[in-house]
Amino acid sequence: MKKILNILLRLVLVAVVAAGVSSCSLAKLRKLDISSFGIKYVVPSSANSLSGVLLLGVDNPSISFTVTSLDGVIMCDGKPLVYVTAGELPVQKKSIQVYELPCTVTLAENVSYVNVLATVGKRLPSLAGFTADADLHVKLKNGKGTTLKFRELDLSQFTN
């Protein structure tokens, strides 16, 4: 069970990473690199949600910025599987650092833990059919901010 939960949280992280790396269309953030990821902890917080903290290694050779929040959904074959929210993540300029990213994963309507475990288990290791939509809210140090929207990110491209 823990292995499947680990895989589910890795899917969440892949969505976050995909949104973060894709968001690098801002010229100064183009060289941002995600160097590592892991799970600090994960606990069920209700009958339909999990809370946890992800460990995210970031190599940021450019300016500082803050991801103020992330709202997303992970889908399998176009149907929502889980919704993801992540808290604030300030990223320091010109640094290589491991950050802790608090997040919550909530099951979609009419989806159970068993459904999620079975769906993820059937699709391993390729994760074919998994996509993510994400709204990434970013704020630069000077106070300017924007919402970056990403749709239909193919999560199977991150499994190699």
Q: Render pLDDT for 128-151 as a digit per residue (tens, 0 to 9).
A: 898 888 887 888 777 777 777 778
What Cα–Cα distance (Å) separates residue 112 from each residue in 25, 81, 116?
36, 9, 6
pLDDT tens for each residue of 77-105: 999 999 989 889 898 988 999 989 899 98
Residue 137 lies in a domain: yes
State residue 87's pLDDT score: 85
What is the C-alpha radius of gyration for the chain, rounded to an integer number of angstroms? 15
Tell me, yes or no, whether 150 lies in a domain: yes
| 104 occurs within a structural domain | yes
Q: 3-class DSSP state for residue 6?
A: helix
Residue 116 covered by a domain: yes
C-beta of residue 132 within 8 angstroms of C-beta of residue 22: no
* Full domain range(s) for residue 18: 2-155
User: How many domains in the chain?
Assistant: 1
Question: Which residues contact residue 33 at a Cβ distance below 8 angstroms, ignoring those fewer than 6 apart?
Answer: 58, 59, 60
Instruction: Identify the CA nearest to 33 among candidates 43, 18, 21.
Output: 21
* Structure tokens, 15: 């969505």
Which band of pLDDT confidence, cut at 50, 70 and 90, is reported for residue 5? low
pLDDT for residue 108 is more than 80: yes
Flag whether 99 is in a domain. yes
On whether residue 160 sits in a domain, the answer given is: no
pLDDT (mean) for 151-160: 73
Q: Mention every residue, 6+ apart, whose C-beta is less than 8 A from residue 114.
A: none
The answer as to whether 91 is a domain residue is yes
Can you give the pLDDT at residue 24? 43
Please name the residue that has the structure tokens 């999620």.
116
Give dist(CA 82, CA 10) in Å, integer.
13
111 against 13, higher pLDDT? 111
Closest CA to 29 of 57, 56, 65: 65
The pTM score is 0.74
Residue 26 maps to which CATH number? Answer: 2.60.40
What's the CA gap between 38 and 94, in Å, rounded? 22
Q: Does residue 83 fall inside a structural domain?
A: yes
Q: Give the helix ranges, DSSP H, for the chain.
A: 2-22, 113-123
